[in-house]
Amino acid sequence: MRQRNIFVPDPVRKKVAVLGAEGVKWLAGLPELVGELEQAWQITVDATLEGGSEAYVARARTSEGVPVVLKVPIPERDGNMGPVRQITALTIADGHGYARLLRSDLARRALLLEALGMPLKDVGYSTSVQIEIICAILKESWRPVAPGSPLFSGASSGPWFSKFILDLWEELGRPCSQRAVDRALAYAQSRASAFDPGTAVMVHGDAHNCNTLQTLTPSPQSPSAFKFIDPDGLITEKAYDLGVLMREWTDELIPDPVRLGRERCDYLSQLTGVEAQPIWQWGFIQSMSTGLFLTQVGQEQKGRQMLDVAEAWARA
């Protein structure tokens, strides 16, 4: 097995650092693990891919020279998702709107994926066009899931978000108002009460423009020129995914958070046929939870922006 130096991008290192000794162990063992996967899957691992923060991701080639992507998720903790749900979600999707899963190894916590191209955020499209593209892929990929799936149920998402927001708010010294926290908890309760397993679908859970990549070759399974990567693996209402888009492009909302936020919410509803109220509520929950999480992992500026927008929405 050849010796190798593994380049781990800084955003991944920052999230791993929060894990303490477990994170140190994961980083130290990564070179050996990559070597084992090269042998087991008959691949050659090339350059690290940057842009994500939840996994070591690298370009690779099969023994036939076909480009693929190796992904090794970081150890699990609150705020990131383990490989079981990702593998399950990608298997269910079967290439429809998502990168195709080629191989997986749960014991080694590794996935081998279809290679994709440039992230949507780097293509040069306007925000409105990016939103249209993401919504089109969401509509293609939302699908019911049979009972008994290991995917996280929307019935538990409200209590999970409530605890996550409260715990981080206290840990970080209450970086936003009690009013904003109370609003987030009320909305989380509202969405939990509204959960209906009869209309729930598999959602991506974090469908933004960094998780939306160009396809390299046309696919009958996914007619769009883009596909999603890194699904969280959830079964819940469609509005959950649209709430993620409410928290993105935060700098564009800052000049007038309430008016511009409402306009975006209505636009998402128009594009997808999903009612505006649950989109707004999930957008608030996402802005609070992600703003606090980014603050915790050292991305204070972006986290502060999200919290400021949520504060303005809470006062409206």
Tens digit of pLDDT for each residue in 121-131?
999 999 999 99
The answer to whether position 166 is within a domain reads yes
Counted domains in the chain: 2
The answer to whether position 34 is within a domain reads yes
The answer to whether position 5 is within a domain reads no
Identify which of 74, 78, 81 has the alpha carbon closest to the alpha carbon of residue 110.
Answer: 74
54, 184: one domain? no
Instruction: Indicate the helix (H) or strand (E) that contains 122.
Output: none
What is the C-alpha R_g of the chain?
19
Average pLDDT, the chain: 92
108, 160: one domain? no
169, 105: one domain? no
Report the 10 Å Cβ neighbour count for 277.
Answer: 14
pTM of the model: 0.87
251, 128: one domain? yes
- Distance from chain centroid for Cα 205: 5
**Given the structure tokens 């781990």, which residue do they identify?**
8
16, 92: one domain? yes
> What are the angstrom distances between the C-alpha of 67 and each of 45, 114, 162?
10, 8, 42
Residue 81 banded pLDDT, cuts 50, 70, 90: low
For residues 89 and 230, is the Cβ–Cβ distance under 8 A? no
User: β-pairing, 234-236 with 152-153?
Assistant: parallel
130, 273: one domain? yes
Q: Is the dihedral of CA 92, 95, 99, 101 positive or negative?
A: positive
184, 102: one domain? no
204, 305: one domain? yes
Instruction: Indicate the helix (H) or strand (E) that contains 46.
Output: strand 43-48
36, 56: one domain? yes
Q: What is the pLDDT of residue 2?
A: 55
The full length of the chain comes to 316
Q: What is the pLDDT of residue 207?
A: 97
Residue 83 banded pLDDT, cuts 50, 70, 90: confident
Classified as helix, coil or strand, 134 is: helix
**Sequence letter at residue 249:** W
The answer to whether position 90 is within a domain reads yes
The answer to whether position 26 is within a domain reads yes
Q: Residue 226's beta-bridge partner residues?
A: 214
- Whether pLDDT at 177 is above 80: yes
Identify which of 238, 259, 30, 226 has the alpha carbon closest to the alpha carbon of residue 121.
Answer: 226
Q: What is the pLDDT of residue 220?
A: 60
- CATH code for the domain in which residue 99 is found: 3.30.200.20
Residue 298 banded pLDDT, cuts 50, 70, 90: confident
For residues 128 and 267, is the Cβ–Cβ distance under 8 A? yes
How confident is the model over 263-289, as a mean pLDDT? 98
The answer to whether position 30 is within a domain reads yes
* Residue that is last in its domain, among 79, 114, 149: 114
- CATH code for the domain in which residue 299 is found: 3.90.1200.10
Residue 287 domain boundaries? 120-315
DSSP assignment of 153-195: EGGGHHHHHHHHHHHHHHHTT--S-HHHHHHHHHHHHHHHHH-
138, 60: one domain? no
The answer to whether position 65 is within a domain reads yes
Report the 10 Å Cβ neighbour count for 50.
Answer: 13
49, 190: one domain? no
Q: What are phi and psi of 55, to 5 degrees?
A: -165, 160
81, 208: one domain? no
* Residue that is last in its domain, among 94, 114, 134: 114
The answer to whether position 3 is within a domain reads no
* Residue that is last in its domain, among 72, 92, 114: 114
Q: Residue 213's beta-bridge partner residues?
A: 119, 227
For residues 51 and 210, is the Cβ–Cβ distance under 8 A? yes
**Given the structure tokens 């992600």, which residue do they identify?**
290
- Whether pLDDT at 139 is above 80: yes
